[in-house]
Amino acid sequence: MNESLQNDIIGSFGEGSYSQSEAVLQAYARDCLPLTTRLMLSGAVSDPPAAVILPENADDVAKAFEISRKHEVPIVCYGGGSGVCGGAAAGKGWIVLDVKRMDRILEIDEVSQTATAETGINGALLEEKLNARGYTLGHFPSSIMCSTLGGWLAARSSGQMSTKYGSIEHMCIGLDAVMFDGSRYSSARVPRTSLGPDFKELLIGSEGTLGVITSATLNLKCLPESREFRAYHFASLADAIAAMRGILQAGIKPSAMRLYDKLDTRISSLGKEHSEDKKPSPVKAVAKFVREHMPFVYTEALEKGFDNARLLNELADRYSKALLLILVFDGAVEIAKAEEAKARAIVGTRGVDLGPKPAEDWLKKRYDVSFKLSRVFEIGAFAETLEVATTWANLENLYAKVKAALAESAIVLAHFSHAYNSGCNIYFTFAAYEPAPAKVEELYYDLVERALSACHDVGGTVAHHHGVGYTKRKWMSLEHGPAERMLRAMKREFDPKNLLNPGKMISD
């Protein structure tokens, strides 16, 4: 970092409000994009940013933008760093604006049932503080423990209970932002307005490319009085999808509705009977011994397995017998019970009733899957998740096309969640193995390209709730067509030199 830039940062923020430590800069050079995680584990080192600034309020954000404009140094806003599309990744010599000191709940309006909070607040901490007052936001992304309110807004996040409570844009009734040119935007705090376009919506989902949202006012819900659980096994995907659609189109909104495909059902172990006295699987015992004592054999077996990914996918589908549907109903006791009973009647004989336990188990373990993915990276492979969406009429087709696009080179599983009256999200997880670090990036982008192209070709959206970052920016033009020019025009207006999170969402 040049001396003039360093002096301006010290003069504006003081010694304790910024860092140039090598370890700190490396930590802020990336977010949770799986590709960079895999490369890092292979020994790759990211090009570091120049400095990390820790603003405490909107005025500090404005000062950081002024420094960026003066020195023509790119700057990126950083919350929890949990994004998986590269949206918060910094480039060499950039300034990183870490907003986690902006973490106060500014007001809880008991009459309007809203809360206003600074956007650096951690998601789990926000929910905990609301719960203590008898409220919930109803927003439960898998990243809740390591993501922020600002990140949710920036990427148009959805949580695990969005079918009932909505996604983050439905929860936000107003916000404050500092635009990159230094101007301030403050929307009205109202449930709805018809005074032209909803301008706060232009910032929600803009991934910090136009400005930084510094606070937001959110709709709250009372903590549910009761919670009912149910789970079902289905023999066919068509029957399971028909049951989901039937429930929603009958006007019932479970707080959680998740359908696991056959392989994901098998891997999740939900809905299985477990015995304390059950002996460990001999196959698992042998695999563990080989992995620990004969790693060269294990590695070779791993390579051979992924070389035959299509066969592995076919075998997994053949020997996985059922799909699992998880249902959770929130609300007053009589309402939750009535909704569960009505849903049970709609499922009818299409599904096998497993009772409440698998759904109860899911709620207890619902954040575990994100941690389990680390095992894939430990063995030298990588895992990626892609969240696509379409209408009910196109859902099976989309599932088949994306799975087929990946199955030749990766192990593929999926679950269906974030369901609506008209359609549903499919959350694909795929794992692939490439032992040569130099070839990992090529394989990664090839798989992502195949999957998202298959989705786009059949009319789905390639991003339901993870955002765009730089991994999906090609599809901004393909999905939005000429409307993308409006975003480019706004970018030119507020950031003519393209210094605020450049290269994200739209190509330079």
Same domain for 238 and 195, yes or no, is no
Number of other residues whose CB lies within 10 A of the CB of residue 288: 13
Cβ(138)–Cβ(161) below 8 Å: yes
Rounded CA-CA distance 165/79 in Å is: 23
Number of other residues whose CB lies within 10 A of the CB of residue 494: 17
Same domain for 434 and 317, yes or no, is yes
* Consecutive H or E run containing 368: helix 368-372
Contacts (Cβ under 8 Å, ≥6 apart) of 129: 105
* Residue 399 amino acid letter: Y
DSSP 423-450: EEEEEEEEEEE-S-HHHHHHHHHHHHHH
CATH number, domain at 299?
Answer: 3.40.462.40
Question: Cα(first)–Cα(last) distance of the chain, in Å?
Answer: 24
Bridge-partner residues for 52, per DSSP?
Answer: 19, 96
Rounded CA-CA distance 63/73 in Å is: 13
Rounded CA-CA distance 248/258 in Å is: 13
In a domain, residue 87? The reply is no
Cβ(495)–Cβ(210) below 8 Å: yes
> Nearest Cα to 262, choosing from 209, 208, 322, 213?
322
In a domain, residue 482? The reply is no
Instruction: Using the 3D structure, point to which of 188, 207, 222 is the last residue of a domain.
Output: 222
Rounded CA-CA distance 105/356 in Å is: 36
Rounded CA-CA distance 261/341 in Å is: 24
Same domain for 343 and 436, yes or no, is yes
Same domain for 205 and 257, yes or no, is no
Instruction: Using the 3D structure, point to which of 177, 206, 222 is the last residue of a domain.
Output: 222
Rounded CA-CA distance 262/282 in Å is: 23
Cβ(73)–Cβ(499) below 8 Å: yes
The pLDDT of residue 299 is: 58
- The Cα-based distances of 394 to 29, 62, 239, 389, 454 in angstroms read 39, 46, 15, 9, 13
Q: What is the pLDDT of residues 179-205, one digit of tens each?
A: 999 999 999 999 999 999 999 999 999
Segments forming the whole domain that contains residue 153: 105-222
pTM: 0.93
The pLDDT of residue 277 is: 42
Cβ(303)–Cβ(391) below 8 Å: no
Same domain for 197 and 238, yes or no, is no
Rounded CA-CA distance 207/14 in Å is: 28
Cβ(501)–Cβ(487) below 8 Å: no
To which residue do tokens 């460990």 refer? Answer: 280
Same domain for 306 and 201, yes or no, is no
pLDDT in tens, the chain (508 residues): 788 999 999 999 987 778 888 889 999 999 999 999 999 888 888 889 999 999 999 999 999 999 999 999 999 999 999 999 999 999 999 999 999 999 999 999 999 999 999 999 999 999 999 999 999 999 999 999 999 999 999 999 999 999 999 999 999 999 999 999 999 999 999 999 999 999 999 999 999 999 999 999 999 999 999 999 999 999 999 999 999 999 999 999 999 999 999 999 988 877 664 333 445 555 455 455 545 555 555 555 556 667 778 888 888 778 788 999 999 999 999 999 999 999 999 999 999 999 999 999 999 999 887 777 777 887 788 999 999 999 999 999 999 999 999 999 999 999 999 999 999 999 999 999 988 888 999 999 999 999 999 999 999 999 999 999 999 999 999 999 999 999 999 999 999 999 999 999 998 7
Same domain for 166 and 235, yes or no, is no
Instruction: Using the 3D structure, point to which of 222, 240, 270 is the last residue of a domain.
Output: 222
Q: What are phi and psi of 327, to 5 degrees?
A: -130, 135
Contacts (Cβ under 8 Å, ≥6 apart) of 178: 58, 61, 62, 65, 184, 185, 211, 212, 214
CATH number, domain at 204?
Answer: 3.30.465.10
Count of positions (residues) in the chain: 508
The pLDDT of residue 303 is: 62
The pLDDT of residue 304 is: 64
Note the maximum CA span of the chain. Answer: 73
In a domain, residue 495? The reply is no
Same domain for 346 and 439, yes or no, is yes
CA angle, corner 141, sides to 200 and 407, nearest 5?
Answer: 110
In a domain, residue 75? The reply is no
To which residue do tokens 């990766």 refer? Answer: 410
Same domain for 130 and 218, yes or no, is yes
In a domain, residue 473? The reply is no
The total of structural domains in the chain comes to: 2
Same domain for 306 and 199, yes or no, is no
Cβ(105)–Cβ(117) below 8 Å: yes
Same domain for 367 and 391, yes or no, is yes
Q: What is the pLDDT of residues 432-481, one digit of tens each?
A: 998 888 899 999 999 999 999 999 999 999 999 999 999 999 999 999 99
In a domain, residue 442? The reply is yes
In a domain, residue 64? The reply is no
Rounded CA-CA distance 286/307 in Å is: 22
In a domain, residue 369? The reply is yes
Same domain for 142 and 263, yes or no, is no
